[in-house]
Amino acid sequence: MSLPEVNALVRDNHIMVLAANENVLAQIEKGRWIGGTIPYFMDVEGGCMSNDKVFVTDLTHLVSDARIRRYDDRQLFGLTADRYRNGFSWLLVPGFSDIHFRFALDVNDYPGVFDAPLMGWITGVDLADIGKVSPKILDGESGQFYDNRAIALHCQLPDSKFAKLDIVNLFQQGDGDIITFPESGFSATQCMVNGEKMIFADYLKQHKIDTRLPLVANYSGAMINISIQQVDDGKVSFYAPVVKNQVYKFAMPVKDYVTDFKKLIPKSTANVVGACNCILNYLYSDLEGKKTGALTGPFTFGEIAYVLVNQTLSVLSVEYLV
């Protein structure tokens, strides 16, 4: 949407999650919305980059009430206490920030975190601006930007409805080596490969691993990806943290992203409220101008589907109780 269209919705008291370039978000009037910086999108016409439009997820017609809450890295543990009895929470976290790291490492320990859908994404910037401009969140009520706070829109649903959160993941564990790590974290030097201690960067080089493929962990049938950010001076950095002693394998290659992706998208998207995809899928699969089915939303620096995931598409739906 254009700025005038978005500001018209704000003046009508719409409850929204907004995604746009920082300069664009700064021009949106105060209201009942939260925003995050990102210029990459799954549009109805295909993958694109935009520096003047706003991607709008309008929740007004679905929710019976909503509240906005900001959190620093010490407060985020209390996120789940701010939820409604029946509803969902939409969380935005600035990429590469301390709170990004703390959330990823600690979220599994949040009280009752899996009891209600926690949807959201890690905010980002133009890839050319990484290291120059910090990703940010914006509190629509105050008009304030933050690069060291997270923000949540907690939404209440009528008793006749319920929220459901799904992950669309193209990647499956390959049949290669079993890899574990001695410590949890966003980087690793050492690892265990089939029980043998190795320098992880050396392993990647020796085995000519395609680092566009993520490490995949199998959590009781749910495939959770960990994407490699860079290999530098013997240290391997990740976009999400590896977990101590968790078994990982590199993913099987995907031959045709768009075709395979369409096969996994839910046949009916009528109840879909919002979705977000990974910037790495946009880059590695050359999605500019290519449609990703009927789902639209931002390409982000990490997807939140209860926990932080990579190279996936997160989909939030609201359905009627039978």
Angle at alpha carbon of residue 38, lines to 33 and 40, rounded to 5°: 120
For 155-173, give one letter per residue: b (16+ CB within 10 A) or e: bbbeeebbbebbbbbbbeb
Report which residue type is found at 45.
Answer: E
Number of other residues whose CB lies within 10 A of the CB of residue 269: 14
| Rounded alpha-carbon distances, angstroms, from residue 246 to 185, 190, 198 | 12, 14, 16
Give yes or no for residue 258 having a pLDDT over 80.
no
- Stretch 250-258: mean pLDDT: 86
SS3 204: helix
Residues in CB range of 25: below 8 A, 6 or more apart: 18, 35, 37, 54, 138, 145
Among residues 181, 172, 171, the alpha carbon closest in space to that of 203 is found at 181
Delimit the domains of the chain by residue range.
3-168+258-320, 179-250
Residues in CB range of 67: below 8 A, 6 or more apart: 82, 153, 154
Q: Is the pTM of this model over 0.75?
A: yes
DSSP 14-30: --EEEEE-HHHHTTSPS
Q: For residue 257, name the pLDDT band (cuts at 50, 70, 90).
A: confident
Look-up: residue for tokens 């664009």?
Answer: 24
Beta bridge partners of 272: 317
pLDDT at residue 284, rounded to an integer:
86
Weakest-pLDDT range from 46-60, 129-143, 278-292, 299-313: 278-292
Tens of pLDDT, residues 91-149: 999 999 999 999 998 998 999 999 999 999 999 999 999 889 999 999 999 999 999 99
pLDDT at residue 13, rounded to an integer:
97
> How many percent of the chain have pLDDT more than 70?
99
Q: How far is CA 263 from the centre of its chain?
A: 21
